[in-house]
Amino acid sequence: MALLLGAMAALVAIYYCWPTGSAILAKYGTWQHSGGILAGALASAIAGGIISEICLVYVVYGGRWTLTHLENLVFKFTLFFLGGMVTYELYRLQAVWFGEGVTWSVILPKVLVDQFIFSVFWSTSYQTLAFRWMSLRYSGRDLWRELDWNFVINRMLPVLVTNWMFWIPGTVLLYSMPLILQMPLAVFANAIWAVLLSAVARHKHDLGDNTPELVPSGPSGFINTTE
């Protein structure tokens, strides 16, 4: 998490302190923003769905693809595509509600809405339920049977707390950027986290440690995917 926050902070510093870097980032942000919600969703799906699975296969499993990996890739691509659409709209609406400045009076309410409303009631629930549904082989009946307070406390709450540990400072950095660069920065965070997580997973695999991993759940969370 510290490495990823450092990478995000470096991009923010480049934008504000290096004119050439600022121009490059602004050009890219304008290009992606021009694609609208579909471009944002596609970028999120590539980072969270494709890059994460490719890194896992080649770093941990030596490039040996299986049907399970392909299934994971398709599932996560779909999940992050839909999540990316919702996140894109969140950033757009927050700019309407609170403005596009970079003062604390603008950044703070965006962070609070993102982390204590959006993350609590949408992203954590959506992705925890989705990944659990997948682990139950897409059985809605089995998932429904698990939906009680134990599910909330034992599955959702750890994800939410981990989310807050990273994304509270992460969203401060994210909302310090102009609107056109907020979605690209969130996508960048997911892509870099996928690479870093694969390195951690390789280390644990080499040690024979099969304890659960937390992976990014898009711009607002982490999900346990090793059931």
In tens, the pLDDT along 128-187 reads 898 889 888 899 999 999 999 998 998 888 888 888 888 899 999 999 999 999 999 988
52 pLDDT band, cuts 50/70/90, is confident
pLDDT score at 216? 44
Place of tokens 């998490």: 1
Percent of the chain clearing pLDDT 70 (strictly above)? 85
pLDDT score at 202? 57
Q: Is 222 left (phi over 0), alpha (psi -120 to 50) or beta?
A: beta
pLDDT score at 57? 85
pLDDT score at 110? 96
How far apart, in whole angstroms, are the C-alpha atoms of residue 213 and residue 151? Answer: 18
199 pLDDT band, cuts 50/70/90, is low
How far apart, in whole angstroms, are the C-alpha atoms of residue 60 and residue 213? Answer: 13
196 pLDDT band, cuts 50/70/90, is low
Tokens of 103: 């003062």
Does pLDDT of 209 surpass 60? no
Contacts of 188 (CB under 8 A, 6+ apart): 7, 8, 11, 47
- Which one-letter amino acid corresponds to residue 203? H
pTM of the model: 0.83
Tokens of 138: 């897409």
- The arithmetic mean of pLDDT across residues 181-199, rounded, is 79
How far apart, in whole angstroms, are the C-alpha atoms of residue 173 and residue 155? Answer: 27
pLDDT score at 222? 45
Q: Answer whether 186's CB lies under 8 Å from 219's CB.
A: yes
